[in-house]
Structure 1
Amino acid sequence: MMAKIGVFVGSVFGGAEEVAQEVVCYLVGAGHQVELFLEPTLEDFLGYQQDLALVVSSTTGQGEIPDNLLPLYQALNDSFPLMPRLRYGVIALGDSSYGEDRFCGGGRQFDELLAQLQAKPLTERLDVDACVNFDALEVAMPWVEGWAKQADAA
């Protein structure tokens, strides 16, 4: 069954954006209807609350959400729309050398907020450590394949 998937990207230096673009190519190739949001708004996100959302976020500064994704995070946090029908996934990019409390903080915060909004994760969040995986796609693509299988089954 074809799923409608919104891919919401938080990127500072383009790494998360590159991962998201590969993910979109894969999902489209698998027959899903996919849209990529590089400057996502609350309205964009709410358009998927009956469908699937995939958040691909790098981490900036002290474990923060990148500037292009932060307005969406703040808007969701402020308006707090409960979304029990939303199914989602999070790919969090980080670097463990910055410390455990900051590691993958951008994606981790988004994952926690979506859980509070009663959205349902299809699978566990993927935390990609730049110290271990120089090429994030090596771990992101197998994860996405599994995530997409869950989407098909749901």
Structure 2
Amino acid sequence: MRIVILFGSEMGTSETVAESLADELSAHDVSVYDMLDFDPGDLDPADFHIIVVSTYGDGDLPTGAEPFFDLLDATTPDLTGLRFAIFGLGDSVYGDSFNHGGDIAAEKLTALGATQVGDHARHDASTPIRPKDMARDWATTLPIPNSIQPA
């Protein structure tokens, strides 16, 4: 069993956050993947998934996450038993669309039977808090299943 961190980005911040999460969780078996390189058919309910996704444009998924979620929509796999946590990136100056990419990701996964756990992290680029610092703090609060053994 492992922790799988999937990131979808527009300008690279999600990748930086994903790597920070992997560093913080390095006592476990952790793998990091760009959503562009990860087949949704490889989602395994035996793994714990962390989804790191930014928000782009008018509250959309970033270009780096769209193909992954489009394929999920097209194949509609049964994700019952899959547990995931969301770290979203956004900027509150965009009002109602703030961090909507993370909301879309969570809605799509739960609609297929997956279960969101832990606090949905919502980084705000309008604050002085660096995303990777917030990610490290957030990682310590994750309800990682006991069956995931440290590496």
Partner of 2:5: 7
**2:44/2:82 contact within 8 Å kept:** yes
For the aligned residues, what is the CA RMSD? 1.7
Partner of 2:123: 128
How many residues align? The count is 146
* 3-state SS of paired residue (2:71): helix
Residue 21 of structure 1: which of 12, 16, 19 is its match?
19
Partner of 2:39: 42
Q: CA deviation at 1:133?
A: 4.1
Q: Distance in 2 between matches of 1:7 and 1:133?
A: 25
Q: Which structure has more RCO (C-alpha within 8 Å, separation ≥ 6)? A: 2
Q: Distance in 2 between matches of 1:50 and 1:119?
A: 12
Q: Deviations over 1:61-109 (max 9, x none)?
A: 1111111211111111121112111110110000010122x11121110
* 3-state SS of paired residue (2:123): strand
Q: Does 108-117 or 131-140 show the bigger shift?
A: 131-140
| 1:145 pairs with 2:140 | yes
Q: Which runs of 5+ in 2 are unaligned?
A: none
2:106 aligned partner, one-letter code: D
TM-score by length of 2: 0.88
Partner of 2:107: 112
The correspondence of residues 84-123 of structure 1 with structure 2, limited to 5 A, is 84-100=80-96, 102-123=97-118
Q: CA deviation at 1:140?
A: 1.7
TM-score by length of 1: 0.86
Distance 1:7 1:108, change over 3 A: same
* 3-state SS of paired residue (1:99): helix
**1:73/1:110 contact within 8 Å kept:** yes
Q: Which runs of 5+ in 1 are unaligned?
A: none
**2:20/2:135 contact within 8 Å kept:** no
Distance 1:71 1:152, change over 3 A: same
